[in-house]
Chain A
Amino acid sequence: MSANSAGAGAYTGSPGATTNHQGERPTMLKVTGLQKIYNGGASAVEAVRDLTFDLGEGELVCLVGPSGCGKTTLLKCIAGLMPPTSGTVELAGQSVTAPPPGMAVVFQEYGRSLFAWMSVRANVELPLKEKRIPRGRRDELVDESLEAVGLTRFADAYPWQLSGGMQQRVAIARAIAYEPQVLLMDEPFAAVDAQTRADLEDLIRQIWQRMGVTVLFVTHDIDEAVYLGERVLVLSSSPTVVQDDITVDLPTERDQLTTRQDERFTELRARVYAQIQQAKNGTGADQDAASVAP
């Protein structure tokens, strides 16, 4: 164990094994041999078989996979909300056993993740109060994030007075205002229209660039995965493993029109599409090709 590196850099010991695809960033999130079996019901359900991957500090990675393959399960394990059956999750070198500070999660069931007895503003503000951020700065953060998702006018409304897409944006605003180091998002744009969705995609990239936050973004939209991510992880259908790990070598500055017309974009999109198709048909659970072993 090398003593010269601390905290997030604790895993930079041997470069080949511990840095991510980008090669130069220290590892932020490390998932090793993760398996999750639900034992609650009448029979055990193996939601996730064996997942191994890592995210570099400040990386934006998209996760795609067929419905029911265990994306939400994986996110909950990473967030420390649920212990894995076997395998480990490490955040900045620390094993995750409870929700770590500095991590924000946007849940798939966005409507149920809002406090119905609080206004939109209070919903966004509550985690900041818990973080003991002083009043003035708090107001600033809330106003900025509501503005960013286009809900300034609805600050005093209650969540149940909003449409599904608007509720989803409140959940996103709350996560942004929190200024997390790691942001987990579970299909956060599922309920919004195409135009808002494009705006929110650009917002996420903007925030990611500005704040250097590490993002794991679950989506079922292939175009979105390629447009947003620096990397796309494709999960197989169950028994779930990482089927493919695709580096998106598009320029950092992306634009809804030009990027999506880029030849490289089309190629990547086709590749992700083929992988998902394979995942769905169950022909792609070829574990040798799937693992991200260096």
Chain B
Amino acid sequence: MSSQSTAPSTGSRAGASVRRAGTKVVHVLLLPALLIGLYAYSSANSDSYYTPTPDLIAAAFVELWFSERFFADVLPSLARLAAGFAVSAVLGVGLGVLLGLSTRVRALFEPVLEFLRAIPPPVLVPLMILLAGIDDSMKVLVIVSGCVWPVLLNTVEGVRAVDPVLADTARCYGITGTTRLRVLVLRSASPQIMAGLRLALALAIILMVISEMFASSSGLGFAIVQFQRTFAIPEMWAGMVLLGLVGFVLSTLFELAEGRVLGWYRGLRAANRGE
């Protein structure tokens, strides 16, 4: 009897959760599907050579990226991106902590940093080619020269904003040196640091592509320019679609990492809002 009476309710609960997940998928996919449909319609009705229909782009996508070009162009790009982002993160957080903790160091460095920050990274490419050649290190340097700033400046802000009462508490209980850095300074600044890293990630993708458009022989940026110059239009579109997907996947991964690192912060903010 009891099993009979509970069975339908669990069944309907499972059904409800499936329905909820379904609704969510529809919500996420609705707009992209609409846009693709719109593009399909307008490209089918136009005889422009430069706007191939989605099925042509999809065919080019499969043919291009499920081949050895994946290893020739996509992987090198991703490796440069990862290296540039990682160096920016380490450099930005390291320098940011240094500057944030010491008023004197900050006063010394601030004018120079403000000047360097004002230089748009792409104009550094010619200089980097002279200094570092045209290999990977040039491209990584270009990425770093742009990405390090949001990390650095956000870290400085975060470190400076450590609560003085909490800092006093740590001092009283003998929490100093690297422990202080680890449990107090970095954790307390982590919301700002993560915001800086998020900006840096978006910048890193842009700078990766730009750096590969100059004096390069591999990479996504190189491939897209090459396709454009040889009028391989569906392939050019396939390259753009792949870049979009890379950006989407990376930002999703970043969001997952952020959720883990900043779980406490979200809870704290929700609690302050009274949720």
Contact = CB atoms under 8 A, between A and B. Distances in A.
Interface residues on B, range: 20 to 34
Contacts of B172: 79, 81, 99, 103-105
Contacts of B265: 116-117
Given A115-B187, A158-B264, A160-B267, A130 B165 contact: no
- The 7 tightest CB contacts between A and B, nearest first, are A127-B173, A112-B165, A117-B264, A113-B169, A160-B268, A160-B271, A105-B172
From B168, B175, B188, residue with most partner A Cβ within 10 Å: B168
A49 B183 CA distance: 37
23 contacts: A81-B171, A81-B172, A98-B171, A99-B174, A101-B174, A104-B172, A104-B173, A105-B168, A105-B172, A109-B165, A112-B163, A112-B166, A113-B169, A115-B187, A116-B265, A117-B187, A118-B183, A158-B264, A160-B267, A160-B271, A160-B272, A161-B271, A178-B173
B179 interface: yes
A126 interface: yes
Contacts of B165: 107, 109, 112-113
From B165, B169, B174, B179, residue with most partner A Cβ within 10 Å: B169
Contacts of B187: 115, 117
Given A99-B174, A107-B169, A174-B173, 11 more contacts: A81-B168, A105-B169, A115-B183, A117-B190, A118-B183, A126-B175, A130-B179, A160-B264, A160-B267, A160-B268, A161-B271
Interface string A239-272: 0000000000000000000000000000000000
Contacts, number: 65
Interface residues of A, number: 27
A131 interface: yes
A197 interface: no
Contacts of B163: 112
B184 interface: yes
A205 interface: no
Given A112-B163, A126-B173, A126-B183, A161 B267 contact: yes
Interface string A77-105: 00101000000000000000011010111
Given A81-B168, A113-B169, A115-B184, A127 B268 contact: no
A174 B173 CA distance: 10
Interface in A149-199: 158, 160-161, 174, 178
A114 B174 CA distance: 15
A76 interface: yes
A158 B265 CA distance: 11
A105 B268 CA distance: 24
A101 B267 CA distance: 34
Interface in A23-43: none
Nearest to A110: B165
Contacts of B168: 76, 79, 81, 105, 107, 113
Interface in B200-225: none
A201 to B, nearest CB: 23
Nearest to A131: B174
From B171, B188, B265, residue with most partner A Cβ within 10 Å: B171
Contacts of B184: 115
Interface in B150-203: 163, 165-166, 168-169, 171-175, 179, 183-184, 187-188, 190
A116 B268 contact: yes
A114 B271 CA distance: 15
Nearest to A108: B165
Given A107-B168, A109-B165, A130-B179, A116 B264 contact: yes
Nearest to A129: B179
A127 B175 contact: yes
A100 to B, nearest CB: 9
